[in-house]
A and B are shown apart, each in its own frame.
Chain A
């Protein structure tokens, strides 16, 4: 812990820190470009020069590269240092086009700030400026290379941190170019991060081009709603539309970066078909009227058929507050407690994570620091992309990744893949079949210093996660736990699971036997979430009354007797609990409303004045539920009440949007619920596994216009061996025969996947939406030709 003096101020910092970090701790920002907290120092820009007055090596030094020493005396404002930094400013600006008025970075340009702070003001160079030809990098990133100051941050992010291979520095001297060999869409699923790290307007968000200056942007710290990892984001909008999302910083979860689905998948908020009006029996009504109607209707059903005739469905999309209030409402009516996950097998998996595994949950940070990660039944890039990035960081630090999964798993790092089928993985974990591989892995886990098991709930289910839990416990030792990082279906699945008192009977059966007359759905869509989607649709049509709260256009909102429009994540406050049990708060960046662009057809804001903002009816679901319950508390008061009723939520009322979040208390050791034993068999030559795809399976992002170019088309994937046996060619259209019907699909082959398996992506809005992820494999057959 050396103590040194910088600009006459004394500072003590951890061993191994640099002068730059010591100065930062004192609040002295030394101008810099190539240094970035997530990327570290490389000494390329030379902007952070300071004078070491006393020390082992006195003189002008780069503060980001010079270790802080005991007793060192440093001055940041000597004539020598200031003259040099001014020159660096001048050199960097030699060829800069000074097109700030039309540059998207304006208002948040580090080049502007650092040039001013370097002291450079007037350019002496009068020669021609170097210019570049820009490339088309696809739908997400705009490139304007003339603005580049060669800090190498983009390359260090794209190649080193994110493992991308198709973008980097080319050429030398003053003509270094950052781009691809040829024009084309960036391949990495983390490409948007180069926008965040670029200190100037070379790489900007194409979907945000020419829309808004930072100072006009409405922003708030938020949580990405697209998977269960709960990454920190900062959405920004203006004119009642979401315009961009940038990464927030949470060292416990995502660190400094986010995936492209999280960044570019948010324009569902602006979706023209989004529910924006309360509706009762096909007629638009004010929200208050709809709420009164709902209260009366439910009371009527209870009076006529008893409280058992009303069912409530919460969800992993809804905030913790809304789910809790739904539960309170059901309790006040003496109705059965809500179901928070309609997919029974997924529900069992969530209960495992919330319950028995809760003492062993690993954060993404712990995954990044792990020396051995076993990824079992998970495909990170498709299910939770930031996990893939965390695995890469583990590998960069010398860790090892072993994947057991039937899919052709791709990761941006070196890893070992065993393409076992779902059944083989479950057998392996249960010790019912060949255990050589497991024994090898077990002995590695025993000796690893920071082992983590990643378990995909969709493939493993409750039984699989339970077996994984036994595995971790057997690998614990006195010094450390063997941690587990379960992937859950949705952003707040953990929260729903935590509110669930006891496992419920499958909703489908209760609907089919006619016991339920009225159903209230909170941001859930039974017809697309239940594994028996077709049967569920049919059963819903037998209901007397369907009331739906939602912000997305779904099957349920279309056929609802009563519809209440809710606010999206970016329009309300709330708390989500991520897959490792971390409660995190988000706050509203925007007020709901139909985007001005949609109201005015792109014209200037309207001259016609209305008493209220068009489309401003949506409210956070928890506010509407409070109204229903006849109470109106502040968020904090509500969270305090929740803490009292659910002791595991202790700390919830202290959460601040943008903070690291607080982990929920582990579940007290109590008799573990016996999971339903799943029977698996390997009958049949070929079985079908419906899986998630990064772009297209998650409902909200697939409704975002911005990710349309990346959406996966319906397809069928098999091992080349299967295609060969059936005399099928890759690329031909084949017929997939299943119990759910026949599907004409393009055939893809991948030799990295398991044999005897066919894989289809679950894609809402396409014929494949009948398939829901999270189940066991299904019998199927494939036929070629035009049958």
Chain B
């Protein structure tokens, strides 16, 4: 167990929050100073692109590429929005990060805004993160007083103002275009793309939406350079460190900052203390509730975007939820799909009406009343919902069903044949 260099969790102490003094003491705002004094906005963009940083919110789109689409030279208002509506079940890394070190996000956002020449930023924060909301507000006041925010930042002529906006609290608000509608005070239904937010986003203006962890990495890239950042990962394609949030049937469940590309086995055994009560590993969600299940066959897979896609799952948010060998995967899937069916915004048919139908089918199977026809129907639902909904919610919602059907179909058949859940006495 090698000690990982801590970037994001550098100032993390149990029960404490680092504010300006401590943050500056540990090298805070050096990245910002370097960026605005020594680099052009374009150079910052290119640096982030070269670092290989991929979006940490789940989809994993290369951040520098996303920024390069942004019309930085357009006159008029432009917006940077931080997506902190962390509502994916099993994912709590952004909350941990902000609890420990809120200034990291503020600094990251200022540099990002400088890179894209954006004048206004919003942090859209989950309704339950009341503590973090207060920390961010304090951090913004401190940063403004220290001259890191406001007009003419550090004498560079560049100005940026930052606001925190509390979400009313629905999972769909994590979808970037629904988030923009919510931020505008409208019903948070997703918008159709194109036009993408970079063209027409918040209030119809060019907008970039990035995750908390993504933005918090920016100053470290500016400080350490692209090559250094890329080398932090254990895989060739990967870059940087990642916050892994452990949950489920483990001896220890906590959030750790570890390299991208660490193996699932190492994560579970060395950091999670192994599967609880001495039981065997059965399965896990590698990156939040919407990523298909992994099995014991995948224990040695490196946790990175490409490697997980190769085994039919996704890196997602790296919120790893582990299930022991006494867990019924039908029940797990049902639990997850209930959440997604409840969180559908109600805009498009496959999500609004398809997911409840999947819930009904899984309930029936779990009760032991399922038939072979129900299994066929479940497969047909999976086939037709995936890829055909308005936004990615339904697609993600079907992730567990996808994993269930590809890795645990026999368990479903057992339910049907035995006429009961095989995991209940």
Assess A173 versus B342: contact at CB under 8 Å? Given A87-B381, A94-B356.
yes
Q: Which residues of A contact B349 (CB under 8 A)?
A: 44-47, 88, 91-92, 150
Q: Provide the bound-state CA to CA distance between A168 and B192, in Å.
A: 20
Identify which of A43, A90, A125, A173 contacts B360 (C-beta below 8 A). A125
Q: Tell me if A175 is interfacial: C-beta within 8 Å of chain B.
A: yes
Q: Is the CB of A173 within 8 A of B381?
A: no
What are the 10 tightest A-B residue pairs by CB atom distance, in nearest-first order? A91-B353, A176-B346, A87-B384, A173-B344, A172-B346, A127-B360, A46-B349, A91-B349, A91-B354, A174-B356
Q: Tell me if B165 is interfacial: C-beta within 8 Å of chain A.
A: no
Q: Which residues of A contact B170 (CB under 8 A)?
A: 172
Which B residue's beta carbon lies closest to that of A152? Answer: B347
Which B residue's beta carbon lies closest to that of A90? Answer: B357
Q: Which residues of B contact A169 (CB under 8 A)?
A: 187, 346
Q: Is the CB of A174 within 8 A of B350?
A: no
Q: Provide the bound-state CA to CA distance between A49 and B385, in Å.
A: 12
Q: Provide the bound-state CA to CA distance between A87 and B386, in Å.
A: 12
Pairs across A and B, CB under 8 Å, 24 listed: A43-B348, A44-B348, A45-B348, A46-B348, A46-B350, A47-B349, A60-B388, A65-B192, A84-B384, A87-B380, A87-B381, A87-B384, A88-B349, A94-B356, A124-B373, A124-B377, A150-B346, A171-B346, A172-B170, A172-B344, A173-B342, A173-B344, A174-B353, A174-B356
Assess A46 versus B388: contact at CB under 8 Å? Given A92-B353, A125-B360.
yes
Contact mask for chain B residues 187-225; partner A; CB cutoff 8 A; 1 contact, 0 none: 100001000000000000000000000000000000000
Q: Tell me if B253 is interfacial: C-beta within 8 Å of chain A.
A: no
Mark out the residues of chain A between 111 and 135 whose CB falls within 8 Å of any chain B CB in the assembled complex.
Answer: 124-125, 127
Q: Is the CB of A176 within 8 A of B352?
A: yes
Which A residue's beta carbon lies closest to that of B344? Answer: A173
Which B residue's beta carbon lies closest to that of A87? Answer: B384
Q: Which residues of B contact A95 (CB under 8 A)?
A: 353
Q: Tell me if A42 is interfacial: C-beta within 8 Å of chain B.
A: yes
Tell me the minimal C-beta distance from A117 to chain B in angstroms. Answer: 15
Q: Tell me if A7 is interfacial: C-beta within 8 Å of chain B.
A: no
Q: Is the CB of B380 within 8 A of A174?
A: no
Q: Provide the bound-state CA to CA distance between A248 and B380, in Å.
A: 42
Q: Is the CB of B389 within 8 A of A46?
A: yes
Q: Tell me if A99 is interfacial: C-beta within 8 Å of chain B.
A: no
Contact mask for chain A residues 35-75; partner B; CB cutoff 8 A; 1 contact, 0 none: 00000001111110100000000011000010000000000
Q: Which residues of B contact A125 (CB under 8 A)?
A: 357, 360
Q: Is the CB of B357 within 8 A of A173?
A: no
Mark out the residues of chain A between 141 and 188 whose CB falls within 8 Å of any chain B CB in the assembled complex.
Answer: 150, 152, 168-169, 171-176
Which A residue's beta carbon lies closest to that of B345? Answer: A172
Assess A46 versus B390: contact at CB under 8 Å? Given A87-B384, A127-B360, A173-B352.
yes
Q: Is the CB of A43 within 8 A of B192?
A: yes
Q: Which residues of A contact B343 (CB under 8 A)?
A: 172-173
Q: Tell me if A83 is interfacial: C-beta within 8 Å of chain B.
A: yes
Q: Is the CB of A43 within 8 A of B390?
A: yes
Question: How many contacting A-B pairs (Cβ < 8 A)?
Answer: 83
Tell me the minimal C-beta distance from B244 to chain A in angstroms. Answer: 31
Q: Which residues of B contact A45 (CB under 8 A)?
A: 348-349
Q: Which residues of B contact A46 (CB under 8 A)?
A: 348-350, 388-390
Most chain-B Cβ atoms within 10 A of its Cβ — which of A84, A173, A174, A176? A173
Q: Provide the bound-state CA to CA distance between A666 and B172, in Å.
A: 57
Mark out the residues of chain A between 187 and 239 whose CB falls within 8 Å of any chain B CB in the assembled complex.
Answer: none
Q: Tell me if B246 is interfacial: C-beta within 8 Å of chain A.
A: no
Which A residue's beta carbon lies closest to that of B172? Answer: A172
Q: Is the CB of A42 within 8 A of B354?
A: no
Identify which of A47, A87, A176 contacts B354 (C-beta below 8 A). A87
Which B residue's beta carbon lies closest to that of A175? Answer: B346
Q: Tell me if B387 is interfacial: C-beta within 8 Å of chain A.
A: yes
Tell me the minimal C-beta distance from B341 to chain A in angstroms. Answer: 6
Residues of A that sit less than 8 Å from B by CB: 42-47, 49, 59-60, 65, 83-84, 87-88, 90-92, 94-95, 124-125, 127, 150, 152, 168-169, 171-176
Q: Is the CB of B347 within 8 A of A44?
A: yes
Tell me the minimal C-beta distance from B370 to chain A in angstroms. Answer: 12
Q: Is the CB of B388 within 8 A of A173?
A: no
Q: Is the CB of B344 within 8 A of A174?
A: yes
Tell me the minimal C-beta distance from B63 to chain A in angstroms. Answer: 25
Assess A42 versus B192: contact at CB under 8 Å? Given A60-B388, A94-B353, A174-B344.
yes
Q: Which residues of B contact A65 (CB under 8 A)?
A: 192
| 13 more A-B residue pairs beyond the given contacts A83-B383, A173-B345, A174-B344, with a C-beta to C-beta distance below 8 A | A44-B390, A46-B389, A83-B380, A84-B388, A88-B350, A90-B357, A169-B346, A172-B170, A172-B344, A172-B345, A172-B346, A173-B341, A173-B346
Q: Provide the bound-state CA to CA distance between A95 and B352, in Å.
A: 12
Tell me the minimal C-beta distance from B183 to chain A in angstroms. Answer: 17
Q: Provide the bound-state CA to CA distance between A65 and B194, in Å.
A: 10
Q: Provide the bound-state CA to CA distance between A43 and B190, in Å.
A: 11
Q: Provide the bound-state CA to CA distance between A60 and B353, in Å.
A: 19
Tell me the minimal C-beta distance from A398 to chain B in angstroms. Answer: 11
Q: Which residues of A contact B389 (CB under 8 A)?
A: 46
Tell me the minimal C-beta distance from B365 to chain A in angstroms. Answer: 13
Which B residue's beta carbon lies closest to that of A41? Answer: B192
Q: Provide the bound-state CA to CA distance between A543 and B360, in Å.
A: 81
Q: Which residues of B contact A42 (CB under 8 A)?
A: 192
Q: Provide the bound-state CA to CA distance between A46 and B384, in Å.
A: 11
Q: Which residues of B contact A84 (CB under 8 A)?
A: 384, 388
Contact mask for chain B residues 317-360; partner A; CB cutoff 8 A; 1 contact, 0 none: 00000000000000000000000011111111110111011001
Q: Provide the bound-state CA to CA distance between A83 and B381, in Å.
A: 10
Most chain-B Cβ atoms within 10 A of its Cβ — which of A59, A94, A171? A94
Assess A91 versus B344: contact at CB under 8 Å? Given A43-B390, A44-B349.
no
Q: Provide the bound-state CA to CA distance between A176 and B356, in Å.
A: 14
Q: Provide the bound-state CA to CA distance between A202 and B138, in Å.
A: 50
Q: Is the CB of B388 within 8 A of A94?
A: no
Q: Which residues of A contact B354 (CB under 8 A)?
A: 87, 91
Q: Which residues of A contact B341 (CB under 8 A)?
A: 173-174
Tell me the minimal C-beta distance from B126 to chain A in angstroms. Answer: 17
Q: Provide the bound-state CA to CA distance between A83 and B377, in Å.
A: 12
Tell me the minimal C-beta distance from B369 to chain A in angstroms. Answer: 10
Q: Provide the bound-state CA to CA distance between A174 and B353, in Å.
A: 6
Contact mask for chain B residues 244-255; partner A; CB cutoff 8 A; 1 contact, 0 none: 000000000000
Q: Provide the bound-state CA to CA distance between A316 and B353, in Å.
A: 53
Q: Provide the bound-state CA to CA distance between A175 and B344, in Å.
A: 10
Q: Provide the bound-state CA to CA distance between A444 and B418, in Å.
A: 79
Tell me the minimal C-beta distance from A727 to chain B in angstroms. Answer: 42
Q: Provide the bound-state CA to CA distance between A83 and B345, in Å.
A: 24
Q: Which residues of B contact A168 (CB under 8 A)?
A: 187
Tell me the minimal C-beta distance from A34 to chain B in angstroms. Answer: 9
Assess A60 versus B344: contact at CB under 8 Å? Given A43-B192, A46-B350, A125-B357.
no
Q: Provide the bound-state CA to CA distance between A49 and B187, in Å.
A: 25
Q: Provide the bound-state CA to CA distance between A718 and B342, in Å.
A: 52
Which B residue's beta carbon lies closest to that of A65? Answer: B192
Tell me the minimal C-beta distance from B411 to chain A in angstroms. Answer: 22
Q: Which residues of A contact B172 (CB under 8 A)?
A: 172
Identify which of A49, A60, A91, A150 contacts B357 (C-beta below 8 A). A91
Q: Which residues of B contact A124 (CB under 8 A)?
A: 373, 377
Q: Which residues of A contact B381 (CB under 8 A)?
A: 87
Contact mask for chain B residues 385-404; partner A; CB cutoff 8 A; 1 contact, 0 none: 00111100000000000000
Which B residue's beta carbon lies closest to that of A172? Answer: B346
Tell me the minimal C-beta distance from B184 to chain A in angstroms. Answer: 15
Q: Which residues of A contact B380 (CB under 8 A)?
A: 83, 87
Most chain-B Cβ atoms within 10 A of its Cβ — which of A44, A46, A49, A175? A46
Which A residue's beta carbon lies closest to that of B342? Answer: A173
Which B residue's beta carbon lies closest to that of A124? Answer: B377
Q: Provide the bound-state CA to CA distance between A173 and B381, in Å.
A: 17
